[in-house]
Amino acid sequence: QQQVKQSPQSLIVQKGGISIINCAYENTAFDYFPWYQQFPGKGPALLIAIRPDVSEKKEGRFTISFNKSAKQFSLHIMDSQPGDSATYFCAASKGGGNKLTFGTGTQLKVEL
């Protein structure tokens, strides 16, 4: 049973554009929702995370939007750059620091 569904599987965005990746979860006990960025051959790096008591969190060019009633959350990358080209994973857990359930990943390519 896939508890976190992520889309799209791949995404091509022009430099300066907005990249949007969406995730949906099933387990209403989840209360911590991080996003990770992974480059080939590297481990996932924590980008930004949100708790369900807020609807939006922004850190630099990265914004998480959270819709508790729809059980959905999304990552927006503003002013996308070629250096942002990587695989992005959403995740969820019950109690931060505990078992993370990951989405299947989105391969982002930012073209010049």
Partner 1 sequence: DAGVTQSPTHLIKTRGQQVTLRCSPKSGHDTVSWYQQALGQGPQFIFQYYEEEERQRGNFPDRFSGHQFPNYSSELNVNALLLGDSALYLCASSATTEAFFGQGTRLTVV
Q: Six-digit token pair at 53? A: 């008591």
Q: Does 60 bind partner 1 (CB under 8 A)?
A: no
Bridge partners (DSSP) of residue 56 are 65
When binding is defined by CB under 8 A, the residue of 11, 17, 20, 49 that contacts partner 1 is 49
- Residue 111 has, within 13 A of its CA and on its CB side, a CA count of 4
Beta bridge partners of 106: 88
Q: Site residues for partner 1, window 14-43 (CB under 8 A)? A: 32, 34, 36, 41-43
Closest to partner 1 by CB, 13 or 23: 23
Contact between 102 and partner 1 (CB under 8 A)? yes
Q: Quickly tell me which residue has 């569904």 as its tokens.
A: 5
Q: What are phi and psi of 51, to 5 degrees?
A: -110, 155
Number of residues that bind partner 1 (CB under 8 A): 23
Task: Give me the residues that bind partner 1 (CB under 8 A), please.
Answer: 6, 32, 34, 36, 41-46, 49, 89, 91, 96-105
